[in-house]
Amino acid sequence: MPSLSERADQLDAADPLAAKRAEFDLDPEMSYLDGNSLGAPPKGVAARLAEVIGHQWARRLIRSWDEGWWTAPERVGDRVAPLVGAAPGQVVVGDSTSVNLFKALVAACRIADGRDEVLVDAETFPTDGYIADGAARLTGHRVRRVPVAALGEAVSERTAVVLVNHVDYRTGALRELPLLTAAAHERGALVLADLCHSVGALPIELDALGVDFAVGCTYKFLNGGPGSPAFLYVPSKWQEEFDQPLAGWVGHRDPFAMEPGYRGAAGVRKGMAGTPDILSMLALDAALDVWDGVRIGQVREKGLALGEFAFACVDELAPGVEVLTPRGPARGNQVSLAFDGAREVTRALADRAVLGDFRPPDVLRLGLAPLYVRYTDVLRAVRELRSCRT
């Protein structure tokens, strides 16, 4: 049987996505395994921002709003749409994930009139729980936290909306979004999906599944940059009824009429609130160029293969380390490892130019972004992990 080093070299040589790594500005001496927190910068972003700042802002000034800035939230949203299985006109980019989550959650509660409960998976990313609690206080709903395996059965005639993370941020476990959506709809409830750890990592079919609302960030596997604007998915079937609570001027039907009362825009633009962050928006627009010629199925296939290789490396080189991530296909693109001293080891790995990240109380996460992570990066990370623990 080939050694791990031989396997890594063979897999890298046969990788159909290998050429994509050259499109990223990565330190060649570093193994970057934290794309599930912050994606690496595509090389085209710096040049695009230089043009935006040096020409669109410095030379065209206010005219640039009419020359592409004003429509950027919908235009960039339409570029994200294929990555989440959405038809054009149903995704808008702007604000943060937390803000968009609040909009969608309140709007869902208003649509599901007469139901007073929000179901949240008990292992949710903390901000989702915070937002759910805040939205519930404003709308008169109660939040009920349920283990994710029991979410479908927990839906009742009182449930307005089920809020679920598509991929668990801590373990990387993939949730059964199709089954959960079907169970919620069967009982008359809506589904709001948080796609932060799945968009750009695996195929998502929001339209086909009938998911009611979805949100997600763009700075992880979409490589939009730190704090890049999030996206909001509002399918056509709900756009007219979508009554979001942050009725800002950009979402107005005629923003420059300066009317005292609010009239929501037609279509998904109603999901906007305040003035979009153009620099971050257009950095994201440039970052999305790396997806040209890439099929999400290829990304999924490599992500699963990277994970299988990581499991093999841990089993052989780091016995005693607990693998929290499911070993089958029911996972996203990260491998989470639990062991005593994980915080200190994560820091020591960074000193050795291997970047993962730590999550309390004892978890090291290795993000496997298929567009630029190599099998040799995975092997190096586990070797250094073993060295740091001995």
H/E stretch holding 135:
helix 126-139
pLDDT tops 90 at residue 125: yes
Number of domains in the chain: 2
H/E stretch holding 183:
helix 177-186
Question: How many CB atoms neighbour CB 3 within 10 A?
Answer: 10
Q: Please identify, among 258, 291, 324, the residue that sits at the C-terminal boundary of a domain.
A: 291
Q: Which amino acids are annotated as binding site for pyridoxal 5'-phosphate, given as ranges?
A: 97-98, 125-128, 194, 197, 219, 249, 275
Q: Does residue 248 sit in the same domain as residue 121?
A: yes
Q: Which residues constitute the domain of residue 239?
A: 48-291
Q: Does residue 167 sit in the same domain as residue 269?
A: yes
Residue 205, in any domain of the structure: yes
Which CATH number do you get for residue 55?
Answer: 3.40.640.10
Residue 1: predicted pLDDT: 82
Residue 144, in any domain of the structure: yes
| pLDDT confidence tier of residue 390, bands split at 50, 70 and 90 | confident
E strand segments, the chain:
31-32, 91-93, 117-121, 142-146, 159-165, 190-194, 213-216, 231-233, 322-323, 334-338, 354-355, 357-359, 363-367
Q: Which amino acids are annotated as binding site, given as ranges?
A: 97-98, 125-128, 194, 197, 219, 249, 275
**Residue 70 falls in which region: left (phi positive, over 0), alpha (psi -120 to 50) or beta:** alpha
Q: Please identify, among 248, 269, 291, the residue that sits at the C-terminal boundary of a domain.
A: 291
What digits encode the pLDDT tens for the residues 128-184?
A: 999 999 999 999 999 999 999 999 999 999 999 999 999 999 999 999 999 999 999
Residue 80, in any domain of the structure: yes
- Active-site residues, by number, are 125, 194, 219-220, 365
Residue 124, in any domain of the structure: yes
88-103 mean pLDDT: 98
